[in-house]
Amino acid sequence: MSTEPDPTDLSEAVRAGGGELRAGGTDTGARQRSGLSTGPFTDLDGTAELRGTGPLPGGGLRIGALTTLAALTADPRVRDGWPALALAAGTAATPQIRAAGTVGGNLLQRNRCWYYRNPHISCLQKGGAGCPAREGDHHFAVVCGTGPCIAPHPSTLAMALLAHDAEAEIHGESPRAVADLYGDGDRLHHTDHLLPPDRILTAVRLPAPLPGERAACHRTTARAHAEWPLVEAVARVTLDGTTVTHAAVAAGGVARVPLRLGEVESALIGREATPGTLAAAAATVLDRCRPLPQTGYKATLFRDTVLEVLERAVAPDAARPAR
């Protein structure tokens, strides 16, 4: 069971390092190899207090920011209580990356746009004046939003945590909604999250599962393994007979930020979970799509991926909390 982190230890770690915070190193290492990040780095990997899971009052769960994705997926407490999160963590990246990558690192990683990742190309994310992807190859870019940067947000866990109404625990501050780490995307011109560099994400906090909830997660990719999703989605629903009484749906890979899909939820709640209802609810995402010249295909994938998780979530064999 994890304990609350010692504020003195964390403050000392930041002061002693004086550089970019580094957790599992899967993203910072890649950026360092490409010349995007030159250090110095402050390694948090040895901070044991930031690892593991522990119960919260009221049936919630605290997950330390240095908990690896592999540990999150294997944790019986997570699998049995929050299956949507366990499913999402288990689909991310590769087994090797999941063994090293952390919850905090996944939430605060940088985007995978190849123009940003090329150290020889200027772009908004590196303080440049424009987005070369707009006039270049952007077939993996956003399909929603009108901001100047068109790189989709890469965090699978952020998407799942949005669907859980999770909170982010920041060292020295009151917990805030995970969604507040990103805002609406309009301010993410030079970064991929809104957490200041001198702040430490210590944990995420999950509320208690809903009685009888069902969960599903799906990512649509161009190949079966080791691929970033074109679109991904997660759904949590509760049913009274065949009537949807609660729905929480979120998506990733389509916008500068992970999206909570309130329009889908509104189209489901209070209605029978028939194929027609599910299809109509999924189709509501098309209204928020603003495709770029090369991302029109993503609108259809967005709708169909959301429909996939809705169909799985209401199916008799859907993943459900064990308690």
> Residue 44's pLDDT is what?
73
Whole-angstrom distance, CA of residue 205 vs CA of residue 188 = 24
Helices (H), the chain: 7-17, 26-33, 69-74, 76-81, 83-91, 95-100, 103-108, 114-117, 132-135, 156-163, 262-268, 275-283, 296-314
The percent of residues in the chain predicted with pLDDT above 70, rounded, is 91
Least confident of 215-229, 230-244, 246-260: 215-229
Neighbours of 18 (CB within 10 A): 9
What's the Cα-to-Cα distance from 59 to each of 78, 81, 288, 315, rounded to whole Å? 12, 9, 35, 26
pTM here is: 0.91
- What's the pLDDT tens digit per position in 102-111? 999 999 999 9
* Residue 318 near residue 215 (C-beta atoms within 8 A): yes
- Local confidence band at 46 (pLDDT 50, 70, 90 cut-offs): low
Handedness of CA 58, 246, 89, 37 (dihedral sign): negative
- CA 1, chain centre distance (Å): 24
Residue 14 clears pLDDT 70, i.e. is over it: no
Q: What are phi and psi of 21, to 5 degrees?
A: -70, 140
- What's the pLDDT tens digit per position in 151-161? 999 999 999 99
Neighbours of 313 (CB within 10 A): 29
When mean pLDDT is compared over 6-15, 83-92, 227-236, 304-313, the highest value belongs to 304-313
Whole-angstrom distance, CA of residue 177 vs CA of residue 161 = 9
- Local confidence band at 28 (pLDDT 50, 70, 90 cut-offs): confident
Whole-angstrom distance, CA of residue 182 vs CA of residue 264 = 21
